[in-house]
A and B are shown apart, each in its own frame.
Chain A
Amino acid sequence: MRHVLVLALALSWLCLAAPAAGSAQEGHPLKGSWLGTWAGNSTHGADIVVVLDWDGKAITGMINPGTDNIAIENARLDPDGWVVHFEAAARDKSGGALRYVIDGKIENLHLPTRAIVGTWKSQKQGGEFRIARQ
């Protein structure tokens, strides 16, 4: 019984540690790979992966690389309040143009697993947006 308890404790710590095991990112706060949801998105699904980069002048990136490959446009970070904005041009299931607009704020800036929390919207839908850096 004791061994089971010890094992359970060890596994529980692994469960806790795993989400925090992502590499630190102490440079530009948006740079990195982000995983989360844009709730209610029936076109591209509720799950989202966002990859963001910073070259010293502009924020660039991709939504759902490898599957949807939606290029990010007009990305901005306002350090006063850590307000994030970016857009993306995509296609709906019938091939029609779809423009996504994401607005949010960085939460837990000091953590490697910081999050961008806000809203997403397109011409057809909208909802809550939350991604966390991995």
Chain B
Amino acid sequence: MKACRSRLLAPTLAGLLLAVASPSAHHEILAKFDEAKPMTLSGVVTHVDWRNPHAHVFVTVRDREGRAVSWAVELDSPIDLQQNGWTGDTLRPGDAVTVAGIAARDGSRQIWRRSLVLTATGREVLTVAPRMPPPLLAARPVPRWPDGQPRLGSMPGADGYWAYPTRTALVEAGVAAEMTPHGLLTNIADAPKVAPMQPWARALYTERQRRFLRDDPTYLHCKPPGGPRQFQQPYGVQFIEDRDRRRVFVLIGGGNNNFRLIYTDGRPHVGQVGGDDDNPLYYGRSVARWDGDTLVADTQGFNEDFWFTNGGLPHTDRLRLMERLTRVDLDTLRYDVTIDDPGAYTRPWSSAWTLRWVAGEDMPRHLCQDNRP
């Protein structure tokens, strides 16, 4: 390795410089941008980079000395922009714009948009409404299989998925702790309240919060959002019930669009093929049974290579989840979870939220492999 490095020092240094110049992508905007650094800039669009997870507009601005300086304006995801009427052609090279927003923490020439106005018309072109669930007119009955068991997924021939979780970060039931949708606490002093953490876990959680969640491996390294986090993804989950083989596929709308398997065939809690208990997994191993209209899943065998919550609560490979999935009506899925991890917490604890059925649509396609600054 030493020889390799010494012979190739020059290109390595060049690569290192490139790497340093490219901050890591993240979905928690405050990980990268500082609310205490508001700024406005006016310039001319040179390029629109229409890619996940966030689109970027590059703008040339004249500095005080009249020199042309390039800035990157970070926007919402193309999925959210498209849902609000944007396309990759809404802005074109040559358009003069004024951008107001907040600047990057690291001092680089990047700005997170708050508003984006076309200079020629004075028209605000960046209007992204918060994603809201469709209005619920009346409770519709739970769709069921011919044997009366609730359907977790779509009816035949219909699209649909679950999204809009009423909680987007894991917090113990009954605890009030204000945080962003990505789990960043408004008040860091609330950290000990979030869950009954052991001292090391509380310190690690607090450290992750202090770093604005910028180390989240789901966004840095495309790690799957295992555990309860899969039900708190911005682009939802989908259930495919394979009744012939007595298993449920949970398709994940975030991460890298991978899936989790829940076995309902009565198998014991061992590995998936001949036993792989020494092969801990991102989604663990799940066996489940129906308790009335509720699917009760028992999951263990998690690895420690990911964050199992938005917000960065730690877990260990001793984590065991008891999850209860109940389709309350056609449009509502209740998710109850008990976290039992004696490696990180002082006692078992619980949380719950609901998700809304998004009828007539397939899950938005977003691959975390697309992540970049």
CB-nearest residue of chain B relative to A82?
B203
* A16 partner, pick from B16, B223, B306, beta carbons under 8 A: B16
A29 B8 Cβ-Cβ under 8 A = no
* A15 partner, pick from B4, B198, B307, B342, beta carbons under 8 A: B4
CB-nearest residue of chain A relative to B211?
A110
- Interface residues of A: mostly helix, strand, loop or mixed? loop
B4 A56 Cβ-Cβ under 8 A = no
A28 B316 Cβ-Cβ under 8 A = yes
- B315 at the A interface (CB under 8 A): yes
A29 to B342, alpha carbons, bound, how many Å? 16
- Do A15 and B203 form a contact, CB below 8 Å, given A24-B221, A31-B304, A56-B316? no
B342 A56 Cβ-Cβ under 8 A = yes
* B15 partner, pick from A9, A31, A54, A109, beta carbons under 8 A: A9
When distances are taken between beta carbons in the complex, the residues of chain A under 8 Å from B4 are 11, 15
- Do A27 and B5 form a contact, CB below 8 Å, given A55-B343, A79-B203? no
When distances are taken between beta carbons in the complex, the residues of chain B under 8 Å from A55 are 318, 343
When distances are taken between beta carbons in the complex, the residues of chain B under 8 Å from A13 are 12, 15
CB-nearest residue of chain B relative to A9?
B11
- Do A29 and B11 form a contact, CB below 8 Å, given A24-B305, A56-B316? no
Q: How far is the CB of A79 from chain B (nearest CB, A)?
A: 3
When distances are taken between beta carbons in the complex, the residues of chain A under 8 Å from B16 are 16
Q: How far is the CB of A26 from chain B (nearest CB, A)?
A: 6
B8 A27 Cβ-Cβ under 8 A = no
* Most B-side CB within 10 Å, residue of A5, A18, A56: A56
Which of the four size classes fits the interface of chain A?
A: 20 to 34
CB-nearest residue of chain A relative to B344?
A27
A109 to B207, alpha carbons, bound, how many Å? 9
CB-nearest residue of chain B relative to A24?
B305
A18 to B203, alpha carbons, bound, how many Å? 30
- Do A25 and B305 form a contact, CB below 8 Å, given A79-B199, A110-B207? yes
Which of the four size classes fits the interface of chain B?
A: 35 or more
* A-contact bits for B212-247, CB 8 A (1 contact / 0 none): 000101000101000000000000000000000000
- B1 at the A interface (CB under 8 A): yes
A28 to B198, alpha carbons, bound, how many Å? 10
- B356 at the A interface (CB under 8 A): no
When distances are taken between beta carbons in the complex, the residues of chain B under 8 Å from A27 are 304, 314-317, 343-344
- Do A24 and B217 form a contact, CB below 8 Å, given A15-B1, A31-B304, A54-B343? yes
B305 A15 Cβ-Cβ under 8 A = no
Q: How far is the CB of A12 from chain B (nearest CB, A)?
A: 4
B207 A26 Cβ-Cβ under 8 A = no
Q: How far is the CB of B24 from chain A (nearest CB, A)?
A: 11
* A12 partner, pick from B8, B203, B217, B307, beta carbons under 8 A: B8
When distances are taken between beta carbons in the complex, the residues of chain A under 8 Å from B344 are 27-28, 56
CB-nearest residue of chain A relative to B3?
A15
- A23 at the B interface (CB under 8 A): yes
B15 A26 Cβ-Cβ under 8 A = no
A25 B8 Cβ-Cβ under 8 A = no
When distances are taken between beta carbons in the complex, the residues of chain B under 8 Å from A82 are 203
When distances are taken between beta carbons in the complex, the residues of chain A under 8 Å from B5 are 15
* A56 partner, pick from B199, B306, B314, B343, beta carbons under 8 A: B343
Q: Which residues does B use to contact A, with CB under 8 Å?
A: 1, 4-5, 8, 11-12, 14-16, 19, 198-200, 202-204, 207-208, 211, 215, 217, 221, 223, 304-307, 314-318, 342-344
Q: Enumerate the 10 nearest inter-chain pairs by beta-carbon distance, A residue then B residue, closest first.
A: A79-B203, A27-B304, A12-B12, A56-B343, A12-B8, A12-B11, A56-B342, A27-B316, A110-B215, A24-B305
Q: Which residues does A use to contact B, with CB under 8 Å?
A: 5, 8-9, 11-13, 15-16, 18, 23-29, 31, 54-56, 77, 79-80, 82, 109-110
